[in-house]
Structure 1
Amino acid sequence: MKRCVWLTVVLFLVTSCNELANEEVLSAFQKIGKYENSVVEQQEKLSGLEQKQNQLYDRIMSYGIKRFTKVVQLSKESLELIEERDKHIEKEYKTIQSAKQQINTIKKNIDQLRDENIRRQVNRLVNIAEKRYETYGNLYLHYKELLSLEKELYTLLQNKYVTPEQLQQQINRINEQYKELVSINDQFNEYTEKYNKEKKRLYNVWK
């Protein structure tokens, strides 16, 4: 009789743990979804600022040395835009870090999930998410370096005695950094597509 009671209690605890794990994992994925929405907002703002930056750059290049005062003015405006971009990339970075913390919560609960198919799918999704966040870390560092190089360029443009060779050298450095950034960004987008596909599969399995 006592043994039966003990088994009943154990089964109840196991079921409770499984339910709690399900709730924790679902809650973590929901939080990640909210963080991802915030990331999209930051990316849209960054894109708008980058377009303004490119427009200012084109205007600066069209003026050249002949209208140095105008070049200085536009260079200062460009530096202000870079500061704004830096603020948004920092917000994006912090949001991604918060999402990564939720992945850790999910990993702690995977073994407690009652359904084997769900466990397998969650594991697959977590692996992709971790690669995606690792790629983002690389993307973030390259973007910060790009901003630093751009700052140097717009500072040089305010120097009346800067040589064409100095400017071209800095522009070349920016272009090389941008190429690397585009490559990493493409990789990040690939992981994002994979993550979204696996997330849909998980929700279908969970139903």
Structure 2
Amino acid sequence: MQRFIWLTAFLLLLGGCDKLTAEQDVLSALKKIAAYEQNAAEQQKKLNELEQKQNKLYDQMMSYGMKQFAKVEQLSKESLELVEERDKQVEKEHKAIQSAKREINAVKKKVSQLHDENIKRQAVRLVDIEKKRYETYDDLYLHYKEMLSLEKDLYLLLQNRHTTPKQLQRQIERVNEQYKKLIAANQRLNEDTEKYNKEMKRLSHIIWK
């Protein structure tokens, strides 16, 4: 799932802020946020790679079926290790976003000190959208953590020779339902990100006109 795909354009918008005066503090704070999110984007890239590896293992397990229990057991153990790696990776992503989230309060304080009313109004709008975006991310993070927990339970079931098809099917359905929630949360985050991009461009236009 792609998130933070807006960062390159965002950083380019902020690249010339050294020429500014009163607005410089605001844009400098926004650059700090962008740096934190760049870190989050790097963690997400690694997370995506782990997800792809795990998907391949899952497809293999489903192709074997429980009749080839030894193979399924081994692959499920490897999958559990990947779940643990993903958990560590998403925590790094979350830590970076929380740092950016704290920085938005500094931006809000600096915005209140702006004298140009047009710039101030647009900056306030930008901050409000970004705060909402971080709330959306927090929701996404909780859904992801829940999915990891459900996946862990699934792979433990696959290591138990006595797991019934009914038990297995029920757990797969739980994982799939959680994945739907995760996809929906990710879509909301992308929508919030698009709104933020548009408002950032407007702010840049007002400052540089």
Per the normalisation by structure 2, the TM-score is 0.87
1:131 aligned residue: 132
In the alignment, the residues of structure 1 paired with residue 66 and residue 147 of structure 2 have an alpha-carbon distance, to the nearest angstrom, of 24
1:153 aligned residue: 154
1:107 pairs with 2:111: no
Structure 1 position 20, deviation (Å): 8.2
2:65 aligned residue: 64
1:121 pairs with 2:122: yes
Paired-residue identity, %: 64
Q: Kindly provide the CA deviation profile for residues 111-157 of structure 1, in whole angstroms up to 9, marking residues without a partner as x.
A: 21011111011111011101100000000000000000000000010
One-letter code of the match for 1:88?
Answer: Q
2:168 aligned residue: 167
Structure 1 position 204, deviation (Å): 1.7
In the alignment, the residues of structure 2 paired with residue 153 and residue 20 of structure 1 have an alpha-carbon distance, to the nearest angstrom, of 56
1:24 aligned residue: 25
Structure 1 position 22, deviation (Å): 3.2
Structure 2 runs not aligned, ≥5 long = 1-19
Structure 1 position 24, deviation (Å): 2.8
Structure 1 position 23, deviation (Å): 3.5
1:16 aligned residue: none
1:96 pairs with 2:92: no
1:8-47 counterparts in 2 under 5 A?
A: 22-47=23-48
What SS does the corresponding residue of 2:72 show, helix, strand or coil?
Answer: helix
One-letter code of the match for 1:37?
Answer: Q
In the alignment, the residues of structure 2 paired with residue 142 and residue 21 of structure 1 have an alpha-carbon distance, to the nearest angstrom, of 41
RMSD: 1.4
What SS does the corresponding residue of 2:160 show, helix, strand or coil?
Answer: coil
Check whether the contact 1:146–1:174 (CA below 8 A) recurs between aligned residues: yes
One-letter code of the match for 1:91?
Answer: K
Check whether the contact 1:128–1:191 (CA below 8 A) recurs between aligned residues: yes
Structure that is richer in helix per residue = 1
1:84 aligned residue: 85
Q: How many residues align?
A: 189
Structure 1 position 59, deviation (Å): 0.3
1:7 aligned residue: none
Give 1 or 2 for the bigger CA radius of gyration: 1
1:170-185 counterparts in 2 under 5 A?
A: 170-185=171-186
Check whether the contact 1:21–1:109 (CA below 8 A) recurs between aligned residues: no
Check whether the contact 1:79–1:151 (CA below 8 A) recurs between aligned residues: yes
In the alignment, the residues of structure 1 paired with residue 202 and residue 115 of structure 2 have an alpha-carbon distance, to the nearest angstrom, of 17
